[in-house]
């Protein structure tokens, strides 16, 4: 018999996508998941349309591989929930091994945000199906082929560490201070974040003095 649902643990779950946002920029993650700010640009629109097309796909089976799309997943141990673009089940019956496939626009990144997001999906699948998930794949729009990701101990530790930090940030309702970086040019929230303007806010005393000077 399964244990009764843990309501507190369910309420504490954070969106799986927050892990990817956090590795790209902790402040972007807080703006989205703490302050509930969102803005779409050309890149996010392309990503949304890509995922809508993937989500519309139907389950299929080819030889010993059954593919399920838009599978709702969660892990109470990792503290995350979300939806996997596609999960292939390699093999037959209860011995089938889950194999997550995440679709991304653009090219492979120099950072590990996409790998962490995929590894978090794998940890959810392991919790849900009680089967080891040794690897998965990222499918990039350019060059339109899969990049295999092995879920080794280092990637699993990084994913658990990021999940812990994101849960703490969201629970504490904390938004990091802005820090301008080259990656800010690719962020759809740059106008809400205003990193160049707010990175070094003027001292209050200097601001008051300037206002008094203006008022004569």
Q: What is the pLDDT of residues 166-194, one digit of tens each?
A: 999 999 998 999 999 888 988 989 988 98
- Please state the separation of Cα 112 from the chain's center in Å: 11
Kindly list the domain boundaries of the chain, sorted by start residue.
7-176, 179-215
pTM of the prediction? 0.82
pLDDT of 158 higher than 70: yes
Encode pLDDT of 94-149 as tens digits. 889 999 999 988 888 888 999 999 999 999 999 999 999 999 999 998 878 899 99
User: Cα(194)–Cα(169) distance, rounded to whole angstroms?
Assistant: 20
pLDDT for residue 212: 73
Is the bond into 143 cis (omega within 30 degrees of 0)?
yes
Give the pLDDT mean for 66-82.
94
pLDDT for residue 197: 80
DSSP assigned state of 6: -
pLDDT for residue 106: 82
Residue bearing the bigger pLDDT, 132 or 215 = 132
pLDDT of 82 higher than 70: yes
Burial class (CB in 10 A: 0-12, 13-18, 19+), 156: middle
User: Cα(38)–Cα(169) distance, rounded to whole angstroms?
Assistant: 18
Domain boundaries 7-176, corresponding CATH code: 3.90.320.10
Residue bearing the bigger pLDDT, 40 or 74 = 74
């Amino acid at each position: 018999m399964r244990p009764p649902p843990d309501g507190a643990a369910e309420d504490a779950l954070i969106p799986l996508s927050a892990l990817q946002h956090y590795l790209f920029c902790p402040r972007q993650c807080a703006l989205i998941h703490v302050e509930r700010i969102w803005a779409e640009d050309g890149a996010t629109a392309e990503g949304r349309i890509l995922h809508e097309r993937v989500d519309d796909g139907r389950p299929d089976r080819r030889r010993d591989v059954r593919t399920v799309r838009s599978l709702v997943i969660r892990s109470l141990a990792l503290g995350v929930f979300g939806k996997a673009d596609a999960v292939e089940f390699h093999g037959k019956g209860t011995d089938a091994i889950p194999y997550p496939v995440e679709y991304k626009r653009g090219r492979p990144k120099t950072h590990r945000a996409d790998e962490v997001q995929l590894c978090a999906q794998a940890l959810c699948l392991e919790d849900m199906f009680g089967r080891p998930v040794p690897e998965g794949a990222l499918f990039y729009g350019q060059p339109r082929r899969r990049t295999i990701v092995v879920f080794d101990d280092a990637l699993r530790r990084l994913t658990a560490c990021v999940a812990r930090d994101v849960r703490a940030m969201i629970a504490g309702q904390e938004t990091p201070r802005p820090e301008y970086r080259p990656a800010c040019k690719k962020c759809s929230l740059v106008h809400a974040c205003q990193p160049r303007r707010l990175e070094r806010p003027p001292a209050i005393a200097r601001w008051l003095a300037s206002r008094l000077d203006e008022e004569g």
